[in-house]
Structure 1
């Protein structure tokens, strides 16, 4: 079975130089230290990164990036805990600044527009807040959105749920059939 470190290495290759720095550090850490680096998902974060409000907003927004559909979403895959662990143990203090500032800006905009926390507004309102960040219409929106989205995607697709339920992990996906109808493909295979 593939582990998070192998999956992160593949993600680093996929995103290339534009990969958010803590993800890149985590993906390449084992090679630089002879493989003696703790796995990202083990244990609690070494420091508390988020306030309770920021954690609630980050959790709600993670669910909007990868919501539960016919497969489990980001919350079921424990992506919020992964993000906090990544920022606590693999990010430099400067790497955390745009994420925390972005969550605070989204929360402030939500209180201004909806008079509720971003964690408590409707999914459509959360989508609107994320769109404002993506379009850089919030303070620090652009520097928040892409790293946040990358962390959610990496956390999801390196989790057991992401690898086994959203995608199908088969080390050898079967025999070759050059005439296999594309309409019969059920899931995308990952390795």
Structure 2
């Protein structure tokens, strides 16, 4: 079975040069002399306030919701994001994520008069769309980094590799005329 570190190395090709710095460091795409060995356990420090953590968890599920396969929360994406920001991010790498969450929270209180973690799915989608379209201060910077963290966390998780995608160490013979309509899942390698 492929492990998360091997999958992280494959993620670098997905985002190319626009790869969010903590993901690049974790994947080994960027080497620094002071890079410590990071444990597999919980984050070394708390990155988020309780309000930010609740919002980050809610928004990660909006980026990759539960459908016929488990969503971001079931795949452990919120814990992955906090681990990446705690142990792989430089302090300046955290700024767009934390500022973006705070901007979304402020906009939720302004527009909906409730904390963003308690807004409806439609309202949460509207807040994320606002960030994506740079309708919030540094919204697009936040959204791109956050989206990369969610996708990386999901597709390097066991759920992402085995339930969303299908893992076959050797997927079989090459058949150049295989009908696309018969492809069930995309394969993880």
Q: Distance in 2 between matches of 1:122 and 1:155?
A: 24
TM normalised by structure 1 equals: 0.93
Give me the whole-angstrom Cα distance separating, in 2, the residues matched to 1:71 and 1:136: 30
Cα offsets for 1:113-164 (capped at 9, x unmatched)? 1111111111111000000000111112012010000000000000000000
8 Å Cα contact 1:29-1:37 kept in structure 2: no
| Deviation beyond 6 Å, 4+ runs, structure 1 | 29-33
Moved more, 80-89 or 169-178: 169-178
Aligned partner of 1:162 in structure 2 is: 160
Distance 1:119 1:97 in 2: 20
Q: Unmatched 5+ residue regions in structure 1?
A: none
Q: What residue ranges of structure 2 are gaps of 5+ in the alignment?
A: none
Question: How many residue pairs align between the two structures?
Answer: 187
What secondary structure sits across from 1:119 in the alignment? helix
CA contact (8 A) 2:25 2:31 kept: no
C-alpha distance in 1 between matches for 2:15 and 2:165:
19
CA distance in 2, matches of 1:18, 1:30: 13
When normalised by structure 2's length, the TM-score is: 0.94
Give the conservation status (yes or no) of the 8 Å contact 1:77–1:156: yes
Q: Residues 1-191 of structure 1: matches in 2 within 5 Å?
A: 1-28=1-28, 37-38=37-38, 42-191=40-189
